[in-house]
Amino acid sequence: MEQKYILSAIDAALQAGADILSIYNDPASDFEIEKKADNSPLTIADRKAHETITGFLCDTPFPILSEEGKHLPYAERCGWDALWIVDPLDGTKEFIKRNGEFTVNIAWVNHSVPVMGVIYLPVKQELYFAEESIGAYKLSNVTSRGNASLDELIASATRLPSVTERGKFVIVASRSHLTPETEAYIEEMKRQHSEVELISSGSSIKICLVAEGKADVYPRFAPTMEWDTAAGHAIARAAGLEVYQAGKEEPLCYNKENLLNPWFVVEPKQMK
């Protein structure tokens, strides 16, 4: 993938993060919360971030599949060999709760495989970016790229995974979606490992924690959509991990007719 497209995605994520924070930190803002058809919340920050990101990416030759955009029928999307998959504000519930655990997710997908991913945590000012040919990286205390090249960003960043020893088997799980199936998985891991620690987090941060090496595995036995995972999946792949369909050796794939993901587990790549 050309470097200019990665930089466009980074710029889009950082600017969207700034737009989200301007609303998040405004004491007079009521977030203008609405309910979507699936009863999930939608705020003014979701809409603003969507507009910002599409403004950056519309100049590229790739179509955009965004959670907050128009979802075209599969008869048209099936012809998209390469596309952007975007969640302008992942973790809207966490945004509304004001716990800071929300992200901006941008992925570039080629033939159903997430090749490039950018995830930005506006409150923590942490940027994760990855592309399969260059690896996965984390950059801290960042609000703007300025004129930095991709090589300069990489030189300032930490390559992932950055944590290699913990002494415990660490599972990261959803703060809002801890299902009975997930609890059963955790109990099974406790039988397999002498010491197990559970970390709870919101949004795509969970995939990033596994990519960093701060957690061993992230099981998700609850509904997610393609835009929830595509960017994190790209980062995980570039860090030597995979996002497998639960109980299978097949990774998640993207731009499907049904944009709902099957259940999955983020873990080290299986050796064949």
Domain ranges of the chain: 1-160, 169-268
For the chain, where are the alpha helices, taking DSSP H only?
A: 3-24, 44-57, 74-77, 92-97, 150-156, 180-192, 205-212, 226-238
55: annotated binding-site residue? no
Number of Cβ atoms within 10 Å of the Cβ of 21: 15
40 has pLDDT over 80: no
**Digit-coded pLDDT (tens) for 253-271:** 999 999 999 999 999 998 7
Q: For the chain, give the mean pLDDT.
A: 94
229: annotated binding-site residue? no
Q: Which residue from 203, 222, 207 is spatially nearest to 260, judged by alpha carbons? A: 222
Q: What is the mean pLDDT of residues 226-251?
A: 97
135: annotated binding-site residue? no
CATH of 169-268, one of 3.40.50.2020, 3.40.190.80, 3.40.390.10, 3.30.1490.20: 3.40.190.80
Q: What is the mean pLDDT of residues 151-160?
A: 98
CA atoms within 13 A on the CB side of 250: 9
SS3 state of residue 42: strand
26: annotated binding-site residue? no
* pTM (predicted TM-score): 0.96
**Digit-coded pLDDT (tens) for 157-195:** 999 999 877 889 999 988 767 789 999 999 999 999 989
Q: What is the mean pLDDT of residues 223-241?
A: 97
Q: What is the mean pLDDT of residues 224-237?
A: 98
79: annotated binding-site residue? no
CATH of 1-160, one of 3.40.50.720, 1.10.3720.10, 3.30.540.10, 3.90.580.10: 3.30.540.10
Q: What is the mean pLDDT of residues 128-145?
A: 97
67: annotated binding-site residue? yes
232: annotated binding-site residue? no
Cα torsion angle, 181, 185, 186, 191, sign: positive
Contacts 24+ apart (CB under 8 A), 78-81: 78/255, 78/257, 80/255, 81/110, 81/111
